Amino acid sequence: MHSRIFQISTKPIDPADFCTENYDPGYDEYYGVLVQPIDYIVCLSDEGREENIQWLKDYYKDVFKIDGDKVTVINKESYFEKRYQDFMKELEKLKDITLDQFSTCELNKTFRNLKNDYEDELGIWVDSMQTGMDTLDEFMRHVENGFVFYIGAVMDYHY
């Protein structure tokens, strides 16, 4: 399966700093291991980059205002709203579980759903020139409406 990584920075990124070959995310400063679940990363062409920025603009039109490479967070709550609702529905299912249910595999799907609703590790990632690799979910938890960042390279990753 494939998804995307957006190189981002709080300042405009010089195209000379975009990746042009296969990309190695290196080691995560916090965990000290290669970023999971990524197998490999391929840098996209200028055309692929533009297509993916347009997709981001269209898909998250209620979350981001995108003007060229400049991205402004306009509605952080909109980004999380549906998954928060899904998360709360899954939590409701756990309200009356028994010890017997807890002691079996019966709840595995519910817990997987909760984890994915909170942080989609198979979705979009960002590689911030300031903070390193994060899921888009984790990145969005650390910004507020009005926050501005810039997109550099766009990469395809396989998991």
Backbone phi, then psi, for 109, in 5-degree steps? -65, -40
- Please report, for residues 41, 52, 92, 109, the alpha-carbon distance to residue 124 in angstroms, rounded to integers and kept in the order given: 13, 11, 27, 22
Bridge partners, 69 (sequence order): none
Give pLDDT tens digits for 13-68: 999 989 877 666 665 555 444 566 777 788 999 999 999 999 999 999 999 999 99
Query: What value does the mean pLDDT take over residues 1-19?
Result: 93
Which is nearest to 20 in space by CA: 52, 49, 44, 53? 44
pLDDT tens column, 104-159: 999 999 999 999 999 999 999 999 888 888 999 999 999 999 999 999 999 998 88
Domain range list for the chain: 2-73+121-158
Helices and strands in the chain: count of H runs, count of E runs: 5, 8
Three-state DSSP class for residue 9? strand
3-state helix, strand, coil in the chain (%, to 5): 35, 25, 35
Classified as helix, coil or strand, 60 is coil
Report how far apart, in Å, the C-alpha atoms of 84 and of each of 49, 79, 113 are.
Answer: 30, 9, 11
Distance in angstroms (rounded) separating the CA atoms of residues 134 and 142: 11
Quote the Cα angle for 128-36-110, to 5°.
110
pTM recorded for the entire structure: 0.86
Cα(148)–Cα(135) distance, rounded to whole angstroms? 17
Asked if omega into 12 is within 30° of 0 (cis), the reply is no
Q: What is the pLDDT of residue 59?
A: 97
Q: What is the pLDDT of residues 68-106, one digit of tens each?
A: 999 999 999 999 999 999 999 999 999 999 999 999 999
